[in-house]
Amino acid sequence: MCDFENDLASRGIKSFLADYSVDGPPIIRPEFVFDKKFLGSSNRGHFFTLASWKGKYLNDYSGDLILQMDIEGCEYEVIINTPDNLLSQFRIMAIEFHHLDLLFDPFVYSVFSSCFEKILENFYVAHIHPNNVGGSVTLGDIEIPKILEFTFLNKRRVCSTKPQRAFPHKLDNRNSTRETFHLPKCWYSLGESFR
């Protein structure tokens, strides 16, 4: 935690961080506001929703926001639970999606599909990077990395689009010292996002 936020802070951008599993960020900066909470689908115990978190600090703020989220599988419930008007307030969202190897299960597919459909109403997929920690599963010609990092850009900020067909991107880096794992071609060969 913190490289992304530290870079934003060096540009004068304040970050609101939350993680119940730690007592605070590894570095302290005046641009950081920390809550010892997990993001979830309700406001109970050590969980709070994205809407209540935004309301706590930026209740009347109507400008653009940036979301960076790596919450170990809870991202689906958080996105599905977030009101559309708040979700559309984000200019950029960088989200790590976990457990994608479960996509072949019909129930899981319906939940994951609902999450991505909600995002794709207002966002384009700007980039996808597989996390090389998780590996992948294959069914026929479809290879699904277990963990994918998506960068989404709000459609309001896009003048034109074109499919990306060259992966990995020059800025892609391994997530761990394990063997490099590139985005499988089936994820970009059609030039379409999840639809």
Tens of pLDDT, residue by residue over 82-140, are: 999 999 999 999 999 999 999 989 999 999 999 999 999 999 999 998 987 878 888 88
Q: Which two tokens stand for residue 38?
A: 């997990």
Mean pLDDT for the chain overall = 89
Angstrom distance (rounded) from CA 86 to CA 27: 29
195 band by pLDDT with thresholds 50, 70 and 90: very low
Cβ burial 140-178 (10 Å sphere, 16+ → b, else e): eeeebbbbbbbbbbbeeeeeeeeeeeebeeeebeebeee
174 band by pLDDT with thresholds 50, 70 and 90: low
Domain spans of the chain? 65-187
148 band by pLDDT with thresholds 50, 70 and 90: very high
Cβ burial 82-99 (10 Å sphere, 16+ → b, else e): beeeebebbbbbbbbbbb
Q: Which is more confidently placed, 4 or 180?
A: 4
- Rounded mean pLDDT of 166-186? 72
What pTM was estimated for this model as a whole? 0.88
